[in-house]
Amino acid sequence: MTETSSNKRTLTGRVVSDKMDKTVTVLVERRVRHPLYGKIITRSKKYHAHDEKNEFKEGDTVLIEECRPLARTKAWRATRLIEKARVV
C-alpha cells in the first residue's frame, strides 16, 4: 500500500492543560492585522485535542490535526511533538 497525504487541517500550538485523561488543551495563537488601523494583533483560541498515550505535558509545543468528533468539545488529535517544554 502506498502512503497518501491527508487533506486534514493542522495547527500548531502550546499545551496549556494536561489535567484530563487522554485530552490536552492546546492554545493556538495567530497574528492578524487590524483592518482599519493596521496594528498587528494576537488572536488566540483553545482547542481540546485527543492524546491517546498521555505523552504531551504542559508547555509542550504540539501539532494538532482535525478529525471526527470524539466528544462534545473534542474534534482534534494531537499528532506530533514539535518542541519539549523548558524546565525552569
Q: Please tell me whether residue 59 adopts helix, strand or coil conformation.
A: coil
The more confidently predicted of residues 61 and 2 is 61
Give the pTM. 0.86
> For residues 1 and 3, what is the distance between their CA atoms, to the nearest angstrom?
7
Q: Pairing mode, if any, of strands 23-33 and 74-83?
A: unpaired
CB 49 within 8 A of CB 76: yes
**pLDDT band at residue 5, thresholds of 50, 70 and 90?**
low
Q: Is the pLDDT of residue 51 over 90?
A: yes
Given a cut of 80, is residue 23 above it in pLDDT?
A: yes
